[in-house]
Amino acid sequence: MKILVENTVWRNVGDGFYQNALFSLIKQACPAHDIFIEEGPVQRAFNIRMNRIKNNPFQLMDHQKADIHIFSGPIIPQILTNYKQKIINIINRGDQYVLISVSAAGISEPLRLETGQFLKRYPPLFFSSRDEDTYFKFKDFVGNIFNGICTAFLVDKTLDIDKFELLNGRPFFISSFYQELEPVYKMASLNREVNIEDIDLDRKKTFIGLPFDYARHLNFFRPQQTALNNYEIIRVHQDFSTHYYHIKFSHPNSFMSYNPLSYLSIYKSAAFTISDRVHACAVSLAFGKPARFMSATPRAGIFDRLGFNNKNSKGIMYPNSEVIDMEYDKLTKEIKKYF
């Protein structure tokens, strides 16, 4: 059997976390099958806005065929746009498609109903959500639905990730922000060793009163904090865009890469993570490290699904390897039922 797993549509490196983990999970669970990477929708990847060029890209995914196609991510609101014709073509030629680690976060009620009817007409072989809200919103439309998890939590179980130490031997933590300017980090008690609970964040929504979209361009004028006591600060930028280097490298120890595994190596080696990015905190927990999530978004349902409470204790979450192990086993067993 030939299986194609979508693993290219990375609007930011967080997409690369769960898609790489999913690809490896399928390889582990289905060793007897031929498994390859499938291209995703160009529009999802690059969000082309000019109507006169929207039809110019070569849609490789339209030409890729397999017995089973696997799609993932926050794509349920896009089923009727970026994935509709692909799904119709798959079903009409007698093949199957699967949705794993998918989310409907933020979907409107009319779109939920319309999407649900489409899924009833063109049913997936298997549907595994990554948050309970998605599961409950679509369980009446899909037969083979599973209350699953985000596969970003499986990076340490499915991928070979290197661990390293800084040359100076000092520990470090990760700071990763994209919706607000990075906070200034301070210790609540000067005599305490650095730990995630005793760090105070002087948050900066803006700079000299400017809206964030403008203030971020002036971020390099702000204080250049290299470390907090004996802990280095590594600033991970998960946006792949090569524009605005004065933003991406505004502060010391700023990191960008085209390789998601390089990012994961940093998360695995860090003491903890402070971020407003969902998947930054997810992979930190996956590697057994605490994380402090600094945002409010429906996408945070991936934490609720595993019992991680980011709404109390200043957003601090602690890892639970046992629950990840259990969910990994459950998802693997479910996949083997259908493949």
Residues 182 and 300 both lie in one domain: yes
What pLDDT shows up at residue 23? 98
- Pair 23, 38: CB distance under 8 Å: no
Examine residue 339 and state whether it is found in any structural domain, yes or no: no
Residues 6+ apart with CB under 8 A from 70: 3, 4, 5, 6, 22, 26, 38, 97, 98, 99, 100
Residue 206 has pLDDT above 90, yes or no: no
Q: Nearest to residue 280, comparing CAs of 264, 296, 301? A: 264
Examine residue 165 and state whether it is found in any structural domain, yes or no: no
Q: Which two tokens stand for residue 38?
A: 């499938």
Residues 220 and 138 both lie in one domain: no
The 10s digit of each residue's pLDDT in 175-198 is 999 999 999 999 987 767 899 999
Residues 120 and 245 both lie in one domain: no
The 10s digit of each residue's pLDDT in 258-289 is 999 999 999 999 999 999 999 999 999 999 99
Residues 184 and 105 both lie in one domain: no
The 10s digit of each residue's pLDDT in 210-256 is 888 899 898 888 888 999 999 999 999 998 877 788 888 999 999 99
What pLDDT shows up at residue 205? 77
Q: Which two tokens stand for residue 305?
A: 């699904």
The 10s digit of each residue's pLDDT in 90-115 is 999 999 999 999 999 999 999 999 99
Q: Which two tokens stand for residue 276?
A: 């407003």
- Of 114, 148, 182, the last residue of a domain is 148
Residues 183 and 291 both lie in one domain: yes
Examine residue 156 and state whether it is found in any structural domain, yes or no: no
Strand arrangement, sheet containing 96-102: 34-38, 2-6, 68-73, 96-102, 126-129, 145-146
- Pair 188, 168: CB distance under 8 Å: no
Examine residue 166 and state whether it is found in any structural domain, yes or no: no
Examine residue 195 and state whether it is found in any structural domain, yes or no: yes
Examine residue 154 and state whether it is found in any structural domain, yes or no: no
Domain carrying residue 39: 2-148
- Pair 236, 264: CB distance under 8 Å: no
194 Cα distance to chain centroid: 27
Q: Based on the structure, what is the number of domains in the chain?
A: 2
